[in-house]
Amino acid sequence: MTSNEMVPSLMFMTLIAVLLLAVGALAWFWRKRANRNPVAREEAAEQAHRDPNIPNA
């Protein structure tokens, strides 16, 4: 394989690797988000709404 053939193939393999990594990260994030407890999240939101001392409420 000459250098003229090698550069595009390495770029293509790098692109595929980055896309696979991005899909894996997105799947991990979605799985983590889906496993959150909705009752605890709702209680925390209510507490944050009542307590003005909690930042980012």
Work out the end-to-end distance of the chain between its first and last CA atoms, rounded to an integer number of angstroms: 59
Establish if 54 belongs to a structural domain. Answer: yes
For residues 21 and 14, give the distance between their C-alpha atoms in angstroms, rounded to a whole number: 11
Taking the model in full, what pTM does it have?
0.56
- Report how many domains make up the chain: 1
Establish if 51 belongs to a structural domain. Answer: yes
Establish if 11 belongs to a structural domain. Answer: no
For residues 4 and 45, give the distance between their C-alpha atoms in angstroms, rounded to a whole number: 57
Residue carrying the six token digits 């003229």? 4
pLDDT, tens digit (0-9, with 9 covering 90-100), for 27-37: 999 998 877 77
Residue 47 makes CB contacts below 8 A (sequence gap 6+) with 54
Angle, CA 11 vertex, CA 15 and CA 19 arms, to 5°: 5
Looking at residue 7, its pLDDT comes to 87
Establish if 25 belongs to a structural domain. Answer: yes
Establish if 3 belongs to a structural domain. Answer: no
